[in-house]
Structure formats: structure tokens, C-alpha cells
Structure 1
Amino acid sequence: MRYLTTQLILLVMALCVSPASADDKAAVTVQTVVKTTKSWNGETLPHYPKGQPEITILKITIPAGVKIPWHEHPIINAGILTKGSLKVVTKNGKTLNMVAGDPITEVINTWHYGINPGSEAAEIIVFYAGIENQPITVKKP
């Protein structure tokens, strides 16, 4: 019992004189990456549709040199390129060139395609704010 008490006292003392204190801990930081009412091409975002909200989060990997076919999104979505590079081109020729770390607020109801012009796979995480049973992407026929 005496041994256990001694060990407990030593443990408490060690914790009291520990070199790390609350002031030494790293602080939590918050950084706004994007806050906007417009898509990357300058168009105003549409109103949210009525219905049961449904959030979809996709991690999309695009191999080097691969082109994503023409498509459009009927719902608001935004993402961040986590790896590689990506070029997004709209039907009227507007272009967005992205590198890892860049955010995107996607164009809505606008035909566009993406291509990975780099030598490594591109990876993008995209958050879609839609409603149940509504497609998040429509491929051009």
C-alpha cells in the first residue's frame, strides 16, 4: 500500500511540473477558404431547390492527361483540389486553371469539362448541396 501511495504521489508531482502547459498547446485556427454568392465564372448562384436537403461529398481522382466529358450540375457545389492540377473549361470558353490547394465554386446549369493537364493524378473533394432524388451531375448527350 505504501509503495502504491508513493507511486501515486510521484505521478501527481510529475504532472504538476510537466514542461507542457495549457498555454503551450497549439491553438485552433479557422480560415474561411471561400464565402461567395457567385460561381467561379462570375455568375450568381441560384436559389436552393425546395425539397428534402441531401448533402453528397465526393472524392474524385482524375488520372494525368484525362479529360472529364462535357457535363453540368443542376445544384450548388464547391470543392477543393487536394492534389495535382485541373483545368475547367465552359461551353463559351471561360477557363479556370487550378493547382493543389485551390478552391472552386462550380458553375451551375452550365456545360463544362475538366482536364488534368499535369503529370500526376489530380484529386478533388466536392461538396454538393442538393435535394433527395435529384442528380448532382448531368452528362451532355
Structure 2
Amino acid sequence: MNSTVFSLSALWLVSITSISTAQAHSTEQIKVETLTKQQYSWNGSVLPAYPKGQPEVQIMRFTIPSGQTLPVHKHPYINAGLLLKGELEVETQSGEMIHIKAGDTLVEVVDTWHWGKSVGKEAAQIVVFYAGVKDQPVTLKQD
């Protein structure tokens, strides 16, 4: 047998044995957890159809210092967030309000003027996923 072929075969056998041994010793299982699945925003409004145009997904992380209030704004597209740290209160101009804590998810209101405030002892940190359209803003501020 050619020594190069023998060396490659031996290397392959050692690699497979190492992988099999590593897999045999692993006791952890893959876990999948659905954090939220819904067709409604947090205030009970039915989510609108996705807009026409080239889809563009944006994922943003916001850090809002404790006591800080975001300006009044609205989102023309569906978005959802996961609060990593702190506490947030979100309120619409009509007075609807939700209070979320670290680990909670939030499916935002669409085309509804609202604002958020960091109300916990530490800064609120939220990751938000926007399902928007290329070259169009995901947030509009009230004048």
C-alpha cells in the first residue's frame, strides 16, 4: 500500500474515532424553546400583512439607561423584541401599557404612536428584530 494512502487512512481513522468518542461522552441535549409565537401585538391588535418590496431584516440592540424615556415614535413594520436586562414600560398615546422584565418578549404595536421607559434599577437592554423593507426606516419619530 502506498505510504501516503496509508497515512491518510490512518489520519481519517483517528479523526473518526476522536469524533465518536467526543459524541459518546456528551450528555447535553440540544434544546429548542419558542419564546413567542403570535399574530397579535402586545395591545391585542392583529398584525398587518408584510409590506411589498425587497424584504430587509434588521436586528438592533438598544440600551436605555434607568429612568430614560424614549421619544414618541411608531413602527411601520412588524417587529419583536427580547428584553435581556432591566425593566421596560411601553405606553401608547391612547393609554394602553405593558410592563416587561428581563427575559420577556414583546411583539410591538405597528403604526401606533408609543414610547418606552426604562423603569428598573439597571439600564434596560432589548434586542429588537424588524421585518422591514430595504431602504425604508423601521421607526418614525413624532414631530
Residue 133 of structure 1 and its aligned partner are, at CA, apart by 1.3
Kindly provide the CA deviation profile for residues 92-127 of structure 1, in whole angstroms up to 9, marking residues without a partner as x. Answer: 111100100000000000000000112211100000
CA-atom RMSD, angstroms?
A: 2.0
Please, which runs of 5 or more residues in structure 2 have no aligned partner?
1-13
TM-score of the superposed pair, with normalisation by structure 2: 0.83
Q: Which amino acid aligns with 2:89?
A: K
Identity of aligned residues (%): 49
Out of 62, 65, 68, which is 1:66 matched to? 68
Return structure 1 stretches of 4+ with deviation > 6 angstroms.
none
Once residues 130 and 136 of structure 1 are traced to their aligned partners in structure 2, the CA distance between those partners, rounded to angstroms, is: 6
Aligned residues between the structures: 128
3-state DSSP of counterpart to 1:69: coil
Kindly provide the CA deviation profile for residues 60-94 of structure 1, in whole angstroms up to 9, marking residues without a partner as x. Answer: 00001000010000000001000000000011111
- Indicate the larger mover: 21-30 or 84-93: 21-30
TM-score of the superposed pair, with normalisation by structure 1: 0.84
Out of 119, 122, 125, which is 1:123 matched to? 125
Once residues 37 and 69 of structure 2 are traced to their aligned partners in structure 1, the CA distance between those partners, rounded to angstroms, is: 28
What is the 5 A alignment of 1:7-86? 22=24, 24-86=26-88
3-state DSSP of counterpart to 1:66: coil
Out of 86, 89, 92, which is 1:87 matched to? 89
Please, which runs of 5 or more residues in structure 1 have no aligned partner?
1-11
Corresponding residue of 2:11: none
